[in-house]
Every structure is written in structure tokens, then in C-alpha cells.
A = this chain, B = another copy of it.
């Protein structure tokens, strides 16, 4: 597997672009179009929130076919909590794109992100789609990525190549965060495309597996969105032989997809609203994997822990307090905590000034690892998160203004 560190990539058979059509109040791009030149296998993962945006409802129905060709995404307006009109607008968006591109409407997937409760300005969307269709380019990924960003500061890309079924295939993804990031759902917008040929049911299984090991292990602020989705399109333009279930080729494909989703998930956390640190929370030897994940997530979500991380304060007591209320089997007198390599807590007790100095040094890094050993079993889990800073408050106090 080779990682391509560039924004100027292309994936055979795909053309993309992003423009400003007027959904956002600023001049920033707000409409992205991703098109395959042929029918592709499609898989999707969607928010588990009971309140689902029109785009989520539409795509969740369409993805059952396992087929698709186009993704039309907008930022600035979530088209969520918009009732029947919102659903009609989502359908109309797909129909306009289908008409302009000459594909069947049910081959088009729709995605939205932005403010909840506002309607899409459909005239602008229609003009925007026409403009975007005219600009489609094999190397337009940077434009497409910019057009799905909201409070994101950095664009997020991941591209890998691998030999599968006798051909070089490319797997590439773009994503947007960066608030309302919490798992058991897709946690943001992420579009992955590949020129690999792969059966839709296998693509679905691979995507679910990758999601579980990437996007479902991240949290920024503990809030779940109404709009989040991951869509993956495989158009087969590479001309490879379809990988068989359990084959070496399928394992290679899975590894590629894992790399792309993990990279994008980490980029989403690094660019979490106001984040100054990327934080890895690893829980070891929990009673079971479910409790390990629950404990790691509880620590990752705690405002008190996250503010201490921002302050570079080795306040391990807050971690203990969170573990004690996380609803997992734990015993203070058995618990060890490490900040980086510094064992700051052994069997529930602080390890003194030297350990604290070493831990504080670890906290001063841009990337922080916290390891919690519960000594209760063999369950393990790793969660990625960020700290909680003034900037988070600033961004979220004035988001709609």
C-alpha cells in the first residue's frame, strides 16, 4: 500500500468540483459534486440519531440498491428538521443533478451540513449544480473538499494505492468535521471513492468494519449530528478482478479502506472545534471490550478532563472520577494511569512529584497519549479526541451569526 500525500490526485472514472452557489452567507464554497462516469457499487453508514436530515433518509433508502453514480453535497444548510418541504428539496436536488448529468435520479445521493431548521435555497442550488457540472474535473478534489467544510479549518484528504486483482487501484476520501462529532454513527460527512471493482455487499461489510475501527472511535464534543454519513463508491474503472470474500485481495482492500478512514477520522479530531491537542485515550484490561470502550469514551467526553488537557495540567484525579462514574467494573486500588510514558498512578495512588513532572512534559506535546490499565480482564479500546479550549466556546456561541 502506498500513501499519496497530495491534493492533486485523481481516481479513474471520477470527476469532481466544488463552488460557491450562495447557501453560505460568506463567499466560501458550499456545493460539491462527485460523479462517476459509470454506475458504481455504493455503501453507506448513517447517523443513528432519531432526528435525521432529509439527505440521510433519502440516501438510506437509495443505498439498499447498492448502486449509485453521483454525490451532491452542500454546506451551510443541514436541511434537517425541515419536514416534507425539506424532503422534497432533497429529492429535487438529486433530480436536478440527475437531469444535468444525464443519469437516473435514484443514482444520485444527497448530503448536507450546516444549520438545522433552515430550508435550502433551491434556486441557488439549481444554478449551482448547473455551474458545477460544467466545471467537473478529474483533479477537482480540493474544490470539492472546500465546499463541504463548515467550521473546519483544514481540508481533509486521504489517498492510498494498492495492487488488487492484477491492477493498481486507488482509494481516496474527503471528510468534514468538526463539531457534533460523536460515534455510533458516521459522525460527519465522509465521501470515499475507488476505481476498484468490488461487489456491493462486500463493499458494505468492509465499510462497516472500517467505520467501527475509525469514526466510531472518535469524539469531539459528545454531540451526535442529524446529518452524518459516510458514502463509499466503487466504480470498477481500474479493471481489476473483483476480490473474493476472505481472499488476500479483499484483505488488501480492507487494509486500504481502514487506512483512509483512520486517517480521515484522526484529521477530523485534530481539526476538532478549538482543538489544540490530539489525544489518544487507551483503556487496557477492562472487564470486556464494551466496558473498555465505554470507559475510554467517558474519559474522552469529560469536560473536566478536556479542559485539564488544554491547561496541560496532569490532573489525573479527574480521570479517576470519570472512571468511577462510567458504569464499568473498576477498582480504584487496581487502576494504573499513564500520561505518555509517565506512570502517574499505580494501584490508585499518585506516584509523586517526579512522575508528575514527567507527565506534565508529556501533556505539553501537541499529541498526548493517556493509558488506563484497569486490571480487570482483557478488554481493550482506543479512542481519539481533542482538548476543550476557549476557541470551542467562541465557535459555538456564535455559530449561526
Contact yes or no, A49 B325, CB < 8 A: yes
Main secondary structure of the interface of A (DSSP, over half): loop
- A201 on the interface (CB 8 Å rule)? no
User: Which of B316, B349, B350, B396 is in CB contact (< 8 Å) with A303?
Assistant: B396
**Which of the candidate stretches A153-161, A235-243, A386-394 sits at the interface with the other chain?**
A386-394
- B226-A324 in contact (CB<8A): yes
Q: Kindly state whether residue A321 has any CB partner on chain B within 8 Å.
A: yes
Contact: A316 with B50, CB < 8 Å?
no
Assess whether B221 is in contact with A304, with CB atoms less than 8 Å apart: yes
| Contact indicator B50/A303 (Cβ below 8 Å) | no
- Determine if A28 is an interface residue (Cβ-Cβ < 8 Å): no
Report yes or no: B324 in contact with A115, Cβ–Cβ below 8 A: no
A77 CB to closest chain B CB (Å) equals 11
Residue count of chain A within 8 Å CB distance of chain B? 63
Per-residue contact bits, chain A 54-85, to B (CB 8 Å; 1 contact, 0 not): 00000000000000000000000010111100
Binary CB contact string for chain A from 172 to 183 against chain B (1 if under 8 A, 0 otherwise): 000000011010
Quick one: CB contact mask for A312-335 with B, threshold 8 Å, 1 for yes? 010111101111110000111100
Taking CB atoms and an 8 Å cut-off, the chain A residues in 78-124 that contact chain B are 78, 80-83, 115-118
The answer on a CB contact under 8 Å between B117 and A303 is no
**Do the beta carbons of A349 and B83 come within 8 Å of each other?**
yes
CB-contacts of A346-401 with B (<8 A):
347-350, 388-390, 392-394, 396-401
How often does this chain occur in the complex, in copies?
2
Is A166 part of the binding interface, using a Cβ–Cβ cutoff of 8 Å? no
Q: Are B308 and A396 in contact (CB under 8 A)?
A: yes
Chain B residues contacting A350 (CB-CB under 8 Å) are 81, 117-118
Nearest B-chain residue to A317, judged by Cβ: B116
Q: How far is the CA of A193 from the CA of B99 in the complex (A)?
A: 76
Complex A-B, nearest 8 residue pairs according to Cβ-Cβ distance, in ascending order? A116-B317, A311-B397, A51-B324, A307-B396, A224-B325, A49-B324, A50-B324, A117-B350
A-to-B contact residues, CB < 8 Å: 48-52, 78, 80-83, 115-118, 179-180, 182, 221-226, 301-304, 307-308, 310-311, 313, 315-318, 320-325, 330-333, 345, 347-350, 388-390, 392-394, 396-401
- 17 more contacts with CB within 8 A, not counting A51-B320, A223-B321, are A49-B324, A49-B325, A80-B317, A81-B317, A115-B315, A116-B318, A117-B317, A117-B350, A180-B321, A182-B325, A223-B318, A224-B324, A303-B303, A303-B388, A307-B397, A311-B398, A390-B390
